[in-house]
Amino acid sequence: MITSTINQPAIILVKPQMGENIGAAARVMANFGLHDLRLVAPRDGWPNPKAQAMSAGALKDTGPARVYTDTAAAIADCAVVYAVSARVRDMEKDIYGPIEGCAKLRAFTGQNTKVALLFGAESSGLNNEDVALCDALISYPVDPAFSSLNLAQAVAVFAYEWGANRVDVTPHTRTADIANKKDQIGLFEHLESALADAGFFFPPEKTPVMKQNIRNALIKARLTAQEVRTFRGIIRTLVKGRGRRS
């Protein structure tokens, strides 16, 4: 019987290519009691017979994998999301090893905060747009001379640490009322639209990096749902020009 997944991370595979890797990931998730598997735009569609075969029945244990068209939809109900990446990005993000990262996520789940792990496609990993939506990175201590890790193996490393790290860590920051990613992304898009109308994004070729930097700064603030509503109200007021002094 599958238990509630609120106190465990969602494992999100972004644009996975091989059904065998999805099945192997589901199998190792089930080994360590993880049940929330989500897929973003799997290359070969879903359901996938090769994934079913490789899972050795685990896809029944983890429950039906939920499929999404994009990463934003897959993380919409999550408040804290970590990206698993072998590459150190040019972003202001905290980077943890698997043990510390797992402990921090467990602390969030102890406060009934839904968390998630993002894993990228086999050939290319995660793109910068997806990483920009994440709160931190988890990087494995692999040999730099051969850092390529199979997708299912990458899931296995985290799943093992989750199963082994049974000591709850009390977070030093508020967690229970962090806005979910759907609300956070709504704020980002609202602000970016207003800034675009005001001519802020210049020159045009720097727009993606400027948006990425804004999102990174706001994510670090860990805004509550009420704070998100407040900031959106501020944006609406500024756009309408209320409160101008003559």
Beta-strand runs (E) in 18-133? 37-40, 66-68, 80-84, 94-96, 115-119
Identify which of 70, 93, 152, 90 has the alpha carbon closest to the alpha carbon of residue 119. Answer: 152
Q: Write down the pLDDT at residue 6.
A: 67
159 or 91, higher pLDDT: 159
Number of structural domains in the chain: 2
Shared domain for 130 and 32, answered yes or no, is yes
User: 108: domain CATH number?
Assistant: 3.40.1280.10
Residue 246 lies in a domain: no
- pLDDT tens-place string over residues 193-204: 999 999 999 999
Please state the rounded mean pLDDT for residues 132-159.
Answer: 92
Domain boundary among 139, 164, 189: 164
Q: Write down the pLDDT at residue 168.
A: 45
Residue 79 lies in a domain: yes
Shared domain for 152 and 196, answered yes or no, is no
- pLDDT tens-place string over residues 16-51: 999 999 999 999 999 999 999 999 999 999 999 999
Shared domain for 25 and 75, answered yes or no, is yes
- pLDDT tens-place string over residues 64-76: 789 999 999 999 9
Residue 154 lies in a domain: yes
What's the pLDDT band for 89 if we cut at 50, 70, 90?
Answer: low
CA distance 40 to 28: 19
CA distance 145 to 97: 18
CA-angle at 134, arms to 180 and 166, nearest 5°: 85
Residue 96 lies in a domain: yes
Domain boundary among 164, 197, 223: 164
What's the pLDDT band for 110 if we cut at 50, 70, 90?
Answer: confident
56: left (phi over 0), alpha (psi -120 to 50) or beta: left
Residue 129 lies in a domain: yes
Shared domain for 133 and 186, answered yes or no, is no
Domain ranges, residue 132 = 10-164
Give this prediction's pTM: 0.83
What rounded mean pLDDT belongs to the chain?
A: 88
Q: Write down the pLDDT at residue 77.
A: 95
CA distance 141 to 95: 12
User: Is pLDDT of 1 > 50?
Assistant: no
Q: Write down the pLDDT at residue 23.
A: 96
Shared domain for 25 and 144, answered yes or no, is yes
Amino acid at the residue 48: N
User: Is pLDDT of 246 > 50?
Assistant: no
Shared domain for 148 and 189, answered yes or no, is no
Residue 3 lies in a domain: no
Shared domain for 200 and 153, answered yes or no, is no
Domain boundary among 164, 194, 221: 164
CA distance 86 to 57: 30
